[in-house]
Amino acid sequence: MPTKRVSMQKFKEVIRLKTAGLSLRPIATAVRLSLGTVAKYAKAAEVAGLTWPLPVDCSDEALTRLLSKPPVASAATPAVTPTAIAAAIAAAAPSAPKIVAPDFPAIHQELKRKGVTLQLLWQEYREGNDGLRTYAYSQFCERYRRFAKTLKRSMRQTHHAGEKLFVDYAGQTVPITDALTGEIVSAQIFVAVLGCSNYTYAEATLSQQLPDWLASHVRTFAFLGGTPAVVVPDNLKSGVDKACRYEPEINKSYEELAAHYGVAVIPARPYHPKDKAKAEVAVQIIERWILAVLRRRVFFSLAELNDAIGALLTQLNTKPFKKLPGSRLSAFETLDQPALRALPALGYEYAQWKKARANIDYHVEYEGHYYSVPHTLVGQVVDLRVTARTVECLHNNQRVASHVRSLRRGAHTTADEHMNTLANLGLRFPGQRSQGTPPPYMLAGVRNIAASLLRVFTTRIESRATKTESPNVILKWLLQRCP
């Protein structure tokens, strides 16, 4: 059985994430491809000199030809010898009575920085206490492991600065009362937390639907002042179309938001809450330190509720840690904030995606309105990208039509360039098997019609109001009126 062909959209996603600085393994997890396939794609893009964003004229066919080229054999690179470790520091003076204890809380925080290892921190510990008795490397590591076990009796995930943002909704809701009607609506609580510093963001929304889900991400990135490398959501239907242990399908609008902000979306595995343990703990903290405090208050608007949440959120982020130095805010300013990527210059615009099939009149329907596409796409499926102001039609990831969005139900929006020419109107005459130019004997028959009727025929078939009307219907209408 032949191997299933990988779409060019995933090849483009590999180029985007590779240009953003992610290594091959996180990219493979994000695009749901094998590590070998991602390495092949990254190598092909590197040889071709492709970076994100791709050139405007770079089509899917050109990328397919690029992947089909055989790999270029390169000369074997010589093995790189590791750098020799510096000579051991001279033994401490025998007169030193005690061994200097390492600052393990500070060491634990430093290990969250990208590239920092226990070997490096041990060397800095020895150099910072030159002339004093210090622990050897083996004892240094052993004592740090003992300290780490006191923090939590569970397998711990290592979170690097600016790497992961965990997002989820709290199980509890907050009632909002309409001041005029007394109607009560349950507000959903969105929670986001950075893996390294535990810096937390929370807000209330009216629903967990896709527009509110994406808008909460936009406000979270603005609150942080930057973007992380990876966003880890739960398998919420608004973000993940198909939950899967190995290859979850991300919602198209969610993928577009990730591409706009330059982040990778790696959902947690279904039924594995420890994959997003940070989000679970953050939700618990929000429920205990914010929602429980607000349980007796009555809110009459979403803005009022978010103002109350924001005030308590500031207190939460500035509250000192129990076992580690500083607070969430100080850890964020020291660790995560310098590692976050800058926000894009242009703001994100929400777009909804939908598939539609072009009807025989080369129009597609969205919310009761009909928009034209090129007549050559009749019967084919196109992707609709709908924003608050525009409706874009894409075929094979190429934009083929763009219209101003209309709210008139039952009406049509037609572009002149999408319509067929008179020679290709699809008019079928007796004896003609295919669409195209009418045979000469039929044209001669039409020319014999009275001059006035011929003018009506020409005017009607070229009229703007009947460009979408079937030519066979027009011809039948004329013939019925012939004397």
Q: pLDDT tens-digit profile of 179-196?
A: 888 899 999 999 999 988
In this model, does residue 442 exceed pLDDT 50?
no
Average pLDDT over residues 371-380: 89
Q: For 371, what's the count of Cα atoms within 13 Å in the CB-facing half-sphere?
A: 23
Tell me what pLDDT residue 472 has: 60
Question: What pLDDT does residue 37 have?
Answer: 86
**Which residue shows structure tokens 């409706």?**
391
Report the pLDDT value the prediction gives residue 239, as an integer from 0 to 100. 62
Q: What are phi and psi of 281, to 5 degrees?
A: -70, -40
Q: How far is CA 271 from CA 188, 235, 239, 243, 268, in A?
A: 22, 10, 16, 10, 9
Query: For 292-316, b where at least 16 C-beta lie within 10 A, e where not — what string?
Result: eeeeeeebeebeebbebbeebbeeb
- Local confidence band at 296 (pLDDT 50, 70, 90 cut-offs): confident
- Tell me which CATH code domain 8-68 carries: 1.10.10
User: What is the C-alpha separation between 277 and 161, in angstroms, rounded?
Assistant: 17
Indicate where the chain has its CATH 1.10.10 domain(s): 8-68
Mean pLDDT of 358-363: 87
Q: 412: closest CA among 378, 453, 368, 374?
A: 368
Q: Is the pLDDT of residue 85 over 60?
A: no
Residues of the chain with CATH 3.30.420.10: 164-339
DSSP conformation class of 272: -
| Integer-rounded Cα radius of gyration of the chain | 32
pLDDT confidence tier of residue 343, bands split at 50, 70 and 90 = very high
What percentage of the chain carries pLDDT values higher than 90?
27
Q: How many CB atoms lie under 10 A from the CB of residue 51? A: 13
User: pTM for the full model?
Assistant: 0.57
> How distant, in Å, are the alpha carbons of 13, 22, 290, 360 from that of 25?
14, 8, 37, 46
Residue 164 has pLDDT above 60, yes or no: yes
Q: Cα(first)–Cα(last) distance of the chain, in Å?
A: 66
- Over the chain, what is the mean pLDDT? 78
State residue 348's pLDDT score: 85
Would you say 10 and 33 are in contact if contact means Cβ atoms under 8 Å apart?
A: yes
For residue 222, pLDDT beyond 70: yes
Provide mean pLDDT across the span 3-29: 80
227, amino acid identity: T
The Cα-based distances of 20 to 6, 17, 26 in angstroms read 22, 5, 12
Give the CA angle between residues 143, 146, 150 to the nearest 5°.
140
Q: Is the pLDDT reported for residue 46 higher than 90?
A: no
Please check the confidence at residue 283 and state whether its pLDDT lies above 70. yes
Q: In the predicted model, what is the mean pLDDT of residues 118-140?
A: 90
pLDDT value at 290 more than 50? yes
**pLDDT at residue 467 greater than cutoff 90:** no
pLDDT digits (tens, 9 = 90+) for 391-413: 999 998 889 999 999 888 888 88
Give the helix, strand, coil percentages of the chain, each rounded to 5.
40, 15, 45
> Which residue, 115, 257, 35, is CA-closest to 27?
35
Identify the residue with better confidence: 310 or 157. Answer: 310
Tokens coding 360: 């025989």
Q: Residue 416 contacts by C-beta under 8 Å, 6 or more apart in sequence?
A: none
Instruction: Assess whether pLDDT exceeds 50 at residue 287.
Output: yes
How far is Cα 295 from Cα 129, in angstroms, rounded to an integer? 53
151, 245, 161: which is closest to 196 by C-alpha? 161
Q: Give 93's pLDDT tier (boundaries 50, 70, 90).
A: very low
**DSSP assignment string, 1-53:** -PPPPPPHHHHHHHHHHHHTT--HHHHHHHHT--HHHHHHHHHHHHHHT--SS
Percent of the chain with pLDDT over 70: 74
> Can you give the pLDDT at residue 94?
45
Average pLDDT for 462-480: 57
Q: Find the mean pLDDT for residues 285-295.
A: 90
Homologous superfamily assigned to 164-339: Ribonuclease H-like superfamily/Ribonuclease H (3.30.420.10)
pLDDT tens digits for 193-210? Answer: 998 899 999 999 999 888
Is the separation of the CB atoms in 334 and 324 below 8 Å?
no
Per-residue model confidence (pLDDT) at position 299 = 93
Please report the pLDDT score of residue 116 as a whole number: 82
The answer, yes or no, to whether residue 439 has pLDDT greater than 80, is no
